């Protein structure tokens, strides 16, 4: 059964392209707090310990997609939580085995200062 109902070129499953084909999209997750992302308990504790209660707009939009492994591209002003998006997504997906010493994550950035800022976010 195909959904033929559309409003302004959109359906429940996505937009309708010019050729009449449906274009899929990702269903948004409506989160009001970090708990709604179903993060590991230790990550939730760290978030609370840092004093955060609610995700910023960029975090609200990007964290669910990043956790699912989707490539994301986000742009926001300084201090809006972009680093936390990929830090939380990486830590959520990372399985830590103390016996395994292989490199699991490589983050590249363009300045030493930014590298230290990112390292400090992982430490928090």
Q: Which CATH architecture has domain 32-123?
A: 3-Layer(aba) Sandwich (3.40)
| Residue range(s) of every CATH 3.40.50.300 domain in the chain | 32-123
> Coil, strand or helix: which one is 73?
coil
pLDDT of residue 69: 86
pLDDT of residue 31: 55
How many other CB atoms are there within 10 angstroms of residue 19's CB atom?
5
pLDDT of residue 112: 93
* Nearest-angstrom CA–CA distance, 14 and 99: 45
pLDDT of residue 95: 83
Give the single-character DSSP code of 33.
S
How many other CB atoms are there within 10 angstroms of residue 61's CB atom?
18
pLDDT of residue 35: 82
How many other CB atoms are there within 10 angstroms of residue 25's CB atom?
11
109 — phi, psi (to 5°)? -145, 165
If we measure between CA atoms, which residue out of 108, 113, 111, 50 comes closest to residue 84?
50
Overall pTM > 0.75 = no
pLDDT of residue 30: 53
pLDDT of residue 18: 54
Divide the 124 residues of the chain into consecutive groups of 10 and give the mean pLDDT of each group.
40 46 46 80 90 88 88 88 88 82 86 91 87
Question: Which pairs with CB-CB distance under 8 Å and at least 24 residues apart come from 95-102?
Answer: none
If we measure between CA atoms, which residue out of 12, 64, 2 comes closest to residue 35?
64
């Amino acid at each position: 059964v195909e959904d033929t109902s559309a409003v302004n070129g959109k359906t429940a499953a996505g937009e309708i392209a010019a050729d009449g084909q449906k274009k899929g999209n990702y269903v948004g997750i409506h989160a009001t707090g970090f708990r709604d992302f179903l993060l590991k308990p230790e990550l939730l504790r760290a978030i609370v310990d840092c004093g955060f209660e609610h995700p910023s707009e960029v975090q609200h939009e990007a964290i669910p997609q990043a956790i699912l492994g989707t490539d994301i591209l986000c742009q926001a002003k300084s201090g809006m939580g972009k680093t936390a998006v990929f830090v939380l997504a990486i830590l959520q997906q990372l399985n830590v085995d103390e016996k395994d010493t292989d490199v699991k994550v490589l983050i590249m950035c363009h300045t030493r200062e930014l590298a230290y800022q990112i390292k400090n976010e992982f430490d928090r």
